[in-house]
Amino acid sequence: MKLATTPSGGRIRIVSLRKFELGDDARRPRPARSAASSADQTGAPATPGESPAPPASRALASLAAASRAMMPVALGLIVFIGIWALIAQISTLPNPAKTWEAALILFSDPFYVKGPNDQGIGWNILGSLQRVAVGFGLAALVGIPLGFMIGRFKFLSDMAAPIISLLRPVSPLAWLPIGLLVFKAAGPAAIWVIFVSAIWPMIINTAVGVRQIPQDYMNVAKVLNLSEWKVFTKILFPAALPYMMTGVRLSIGVAWLVIVAAEMLTGGVGIGFWVWDEWNNLNVEHIIIAIFVVGIVGLLLEQALLLLARRFEYR
Amino acid sequence: MEKLVQIENADVAFYTKKGLFQALRGIDLTVTQGEFVTLIGHSGCGKSTLLNLIAGLVMPTRGNVFVNGREVAGPGPDRAVVFQNHSLLPWMTCFDNIYLAVERVFGGSEPKAQLRDRTRAALELVHLAPAENKHPHEISGGMKQRVGIARAFAMQPKILLLDEPFGALDALTRAHLQDELMDIVAKTRSTVVMVTHDVDEAVLLSDRIVMLTNGPAAVVGDIVSVDLPRPRDRLAHASDYRYHELRTAVLEFLYRKQMCPAA
């Protein structure tokens, strides 16, 4: 199959892979390090009432606290893998060790290209991310302004409410045939599905954000007789921004959820298509790896947006 | 004396879920240039509604409201309002909060450097120059209220409307801000209408105290003229016979004639 690679290359990858997959373990010393550095910076205990302890012992203490916090996480993982191994014993499911081996081989060469339907896992992930980015970007471009207008004007809100309530519960995949019909190609149809799935949380959350703006702020705008543009840039936009960011975060979650299913149907280079392809090859290890990859990428997207959202908090 | 605010036989009613709610009935009130008028009454009697009527945030259902000889059609920067909960925009620094108002009022006629000078002067007026780059959540409640007051003064309004500006503050901070306000009002010769439920505050600050009857359909029950000489000193007044007489007159109205049945 497509997994030809040199053993030495594989060895090198193992190290980087372990760092990546055991992110929780790699994170363990981090709180300790930051605590130690902050102690170094201030040069004195943070609170005056606290008994003065040398930085080294404090770092050690916070290391212990961090490892205590990691205990349940590690235990959870062990139990999870244990159950997986147990099920693998009594069924045809590949066991954790076999899957791990397959993953090492797979990730030793993530960016190979052997024709349009046989490319490395890296290309497949990037393909999916690109589709999500385009579909999500278009949804933000349409959904956020729409949400603002719906939130600001009662009439528009009343106009849009029944349509949104009707269309929002529809599975995004139901829109795929419409996309295929209109765009006459699989690629744009997949992006269309992402667009439809990602737009609702952004419209709704932005509208809620605009609607919940405290009357006090709007009174300030009224008393100052601010222009509609100033009201938007100085009051509406900053006040709605945290809500908007929540919408963006939910949207990207949904988009990433849907892309796998959409790609299974439309094909092309992408993690969803790859899963389907591996199913046709009966390569179940790769399907399990794909599940983990989708999960990890989704988690990273979510965390990145949480980090971004925190920058916009004003309280 | 020039009449700055004229309210003639004004009614205010709101549509609520229970039907029409008559808040104010037949209000007649004039405020002259440079006067300090307080509106006092039990909570829910409609004193804030009366203030909002002057501000233009509420429209009369009957009667007329004139400010500076012109009928009030809506809110405007010539009537600056300080709200009870300061209503500073939390995503802006103290400086920017004031600058927004200054820019709105003077932005058309003055260069930016002058606008910034006005903003700084307003901050200095309330002794908050060092806090200009702080955000509202980084300063105390009293400081926030001072920024709100600075914002209002920076607009150089014809009339200053204060809606229980010190209601949410502790007694010491409140006293301090009252003195500061008296000082600024004397310096700028501002016309002020202030809503309060604090009798001492009303007597100390006002030229006239407008006492409203209990709602619904509140009317002006009585008006007390405070003829104490200015500048006023809260400590000197503590033993002043006239001060206590005035204070008693207001208390008499609030607690004997208008005892709140719900309270």
- Residue A95 has what DSSP assignment? P
Q: How far is B251 from chain A (nearest CA, A)?
A: 31
Within 8 A of A220 by CB-CB distance, chain B residues are: 87, 89
- Is residue B100 domain-resident? no
Residues A186, A268 contacting (CB under 8 angstroms): yes
> Mean pLDDT, chain A, as a whole number?
81
Residues of A in contact with B90 (CB under 8 A): 314-315
* Chain A residues with CB-CB distance to B83 below 8 A: 216, 219
pLDDT value for A28: 39
What pLDDT sits at residue A315?
59
ipTM over 0.85 threshold:
no
- What are the strands of the beta sheet with B3-16, ordered from one edge? B19-32, B3-16, B62-67, B70-71
Instruction: Report chain B residues whose CB lies below 8 A from the CB of A218.
Output: none
Q: Which of A225, A226, A315 sits opposite B90 (nearest CB)?
A: A315
Q: Are A120 and A265 in contact (CB under 8 A)?
A: no
Q: What is the pLDDT of residue B166?
A: 87
User: Residue B75 and residue A230: Cβ atoms within 8 Å?
Assistant: no
Asked if pLDDT for residue B256 goes beyond 80, the answer is: no
Residue of A213, A224, A312, A313 to mutate when probing chain B, most B C-beta within 10 A? A224
**Nearest CB partner across the interface for B57, out of A222, A238, A315:** A222
- Residue B152 within any structural domain of the chain: no
pLDDT by residue (tens digit) across A1-32?
444 444 443 333 333 333 333 334 443 344 33
CATH of A121-311, one of 1.10.3720.10, 1.20.1260.10, 1.20.1280.50, 3.40.50.300: 1.10.3720.10
Let me know: does B12 contact B46? Beta carbons within 8 Å.
Answer: yes
Chain A / chain B CB contacts < 8 angstroms: 50
Q: Which residues, at least 6 apart from A304, have a Cβ–Cβ distance to it below 8 Å?
A: none
Cβ contact (<8 Å) for A216 and B137? Answer: no
Residue B8 forms part of a structural domain:
yes
Picking from A216, A224, A225, the nearest residue to B83 by CB comes out as A216
Question: pLDDT by residue (tens digit) across A164-203?
Answer: 999 988 988 999 999 999 999 888 999 999 999 999 999 9
Is the pTM higher than 0.80? The answer reads no
Q: A interface mutation test: which of B88, B89, B95 has the most A CBs within 10 A?
A: B89
CB contact under 8 A, A217 and B80: no
If one counts every other C-beta atom within 10 angstroms of the C-beta of residue B70, the result is 10
- Residue B40 carries which DSSP code? E
CB-based contact B81 A219, cutoff 8 Å: yes
CATH number, domain at B19?
A: 3.40.50.300
Q: Which residues of B touch A (CB under 8 A)?
A: 55, 57, 74-77, 79-81, 83, 85, 87, 89-92, 100-101, 104, 135, 137, 155
% of residues, chain A, pLDDT over 70: 82
By Cβ distance, the residue of A224, A239, A314 closest to B101 is: A224
| Domain membership flag for residue B40 | yes
Q: Which of B75, B80, B90 sits opposite A222 (nearest CB)?
A: B75
Nearest to B85 among A216, A226, A238 (CB): A216
Tell which A residues from 129 to 168 touch B, by Cβ distance under 8 Å: none
Please state, rounded to an integer, the average pLDDT across all residues of chain B.
88
Of A217, A223, A314, the CB nearest to B77: A223
Closest CA to B30 of B1, B3, B2, B64: B3
**Distance (Å) from the alpha carbon of A243 to chain B's nearest alpha carbon:** 14
Q: Do A315 and B137 touch (CB under 8 A)?
A: yes
Share of chain B above pLDDT 90, in %: 34
Q: Nearest CA to A223 among B75, B66, B102, B149?
A: B75
Name the 3-class secondary structure at B228: coil
Please indicate, yes or no, if residue B140 is contained in any of the structural domains: no
Residues B248 and B263: their CA atoms lie apart, in Å, by: 20
Cβ contact B91–A217 (<8 Å): no
d(CA A131, CA A119): 17
Chain A CB contacts of B100 below 8 Å: 224, 226, 230, 234
Q: How far apart are CA B58 and CA A13, in angstroms?
A: 70
* B-contacting residues in A 197-236 (Cβ below 8 Å): 214, 216-217, 219-220, 222-226, 230, 234-235
Give the total residue count for chain A: 315
CB proximity A315 to B under 8 Å: yes
Identify the CA nearest to B176 among candidates B142, B135, B141, B213.
Answer: B142
Asked whether B37 and B207 are in contact (CB, 8 A), the reply is yes
- A214 to chain B: which residues are within 8 Å by CB? 87
Residues, chain B: 263
Query: A54 falls in which pLDDT band (50, 70, 90)?
Result: low
- Tokens for A26, please give them: 């790699």
pLDDT tens digits along A245-299: 999 999 999 999 999 999 988 888 888 998 998 898 888 999 999 999 999 999 9
pLDDT of residue B259: 65
Contact B104 A216 (CB under 8 A): no
Residue B200 has pLDDT above 50, yes or no: yes
Q: Tens digits of per-residue pLDDT, B35-67?
A: 999 999 888 788 889 999 999 998 999 999 999
B186's tokens: 């004397």
Range of the structural domain that residue B244 is part of: 1-73+204-263
- Return d(Cα A158, Cα B206) in angstroms, integer: 48
**Rounded distance between C-alpha atoms, residue B259 and residue A129, angstroms:** 69
Model confidence at A86, pLDDT cuts 50, 70, 90, reads: very high
As for how many domains chain B has, the answer is 1
Instruction: Give residue A36's pLDDT band: very low, low, confident or very high (50, 70, 90).
Output: very low
Query: What average pLDDT score do residues B170-199 get?
Result: 89
